[in-house]
Chains A and B, each alone.
Chain A
Amino acid sequence: LIMKDNSLKLVSSEQALKELGLNEHQLRFTCRVQLHDPHSDPDTLRRIYTHLKSVLKGYAIQHLPDGTVMVESIVIKVSSSPEEANTKVILLSWSYQDEDLGSFLSTLLKKGLPSGL
């Protein structure tokens, strides 16, 4: 709700920032989660996708062809180093606006993936 030219109007937060002449500051987090997992990177990502699908009901979860899983606007990628093929690094990236879900996912993935996926 903003007041401009002596009248009140209801606008989106983005619009309000613009009308007030303020810049938006994007706060982002990228969290590295290490996972002991002997599967290949794409396989680990697929298992993450399956796991999240079963835990997070009612969320938009996508497995994209470019090798990422997205939960709402949170991006998840998997990588591993050739020296330690059994250790995967999951990269989770989210913005402050998705703070609750991002924090939840990083805590969830830290616990590992259930066997049998």
Chain B
Amino acid sequence: MEEPPVGQAPKPLLSGAVPLEAFLALLQKNGIMEVKVEETAEGHILHLQAEDTLIQLEEDGTHIVCDNNEPLRTTLRDLVLRFLQKI
């Protein structure tokens, strides 16, 4: 069985925000076309329809809710990280 991660340094803290329009453009560039955007009091919720995934974008946080699809999750993670500074 695969070994659990041991003694790895924690990931850096993140700072900044993810701009909606630029993020949508980046999703499209990566082949994610069908995105329904809903405005909320705190920001936006993006529904990636073909992938059945939700991304909640807020000024001080991003929440990715998806099925157990590691390639998709890590792709979305890396796209979000492009907009954030690592501290």
Contacts and interface: CB of A to CB of B under 8 A. Distances in A.
* A is bound by B: yes
A39 interface: no
Interface of B: 1-2, 4-6, 8, 10-18, 59-68, 70, 73-74, 77, 80-81, 84-85, 87
Interface string A80-107: 0000000000000000111111011011
Contacts of B80: 27
A31 B14 contact: no
Given A22-B87, A23-B60, A27-B77, A55 B4 contact: yes
Contacts of B59: 23
B5 A104 contact: yes
Interface of A: 13-14, 16-17, 22-34, 55-56, 58-59, 96-101, 103-104, 106-108, 110
